[in-house]
Amino acid sequence: MGFCQQLERASGNEGMAQIVPNCLEMALGTANSDGYAKVITLAKGAHFKIVSVNEAFTRVTGYTQLDVEGKDLRSVLSKGGEEETEDELGARAGATMHNFVPVAKKGVCAASTNEHFDVNGREFLTFMCSYPLSNLRDEVTHILHVCQE
């Protein structure tokens, strides 16, 4: 991360690039620093269980940490709080399903525009980027999801 900051300064574009943490500790430490809605999920298993959300996520969705901890991220952000299938998503015009699998399995970033729903059922559009968070053995253990409405 320090190297990226040095490159930014040297190029004269300081503050233009988003510095993304690559481990859980750094992600938790920067959770509220930039105003983006952030969610940290586990990277293991069929469902990506929520570990942490920040204040911006609560402002956008109406869900608190206590409401969502341990729940699947897709389920929380879907209509009625139930996970939608690919067919159900396709039935909504222009809807896409954000693909977490490459982030968890291959350690690559993913980005997409998605239709989500808040706690009251209000539909909103987000741009979501997902970043792998790894441990000292370079294994992806968590995923940081950064959302912008």
Q: What is the pLDDT of residues 4-58, one digit of tens each?
A: 555 566 666 555 445 556 666 666 666 566 778 899 999 987 778 999 999 989 9
DSSP code at position 18: P
Handedness of CA 56, 112, 82, 107 (dihedral sign): negative
Cα separation, 146 vs 128, in Å, equals 6
Q: The pTM is what?
A: 0.74
Provide the CA 83 distance to its chain's centre, in angstroms.
16
Query: CB of 48 within 8 A of CB of 42?
Result: yes
C-alpha–C-alpha distance, residues 9 and 3, integer Å: 10
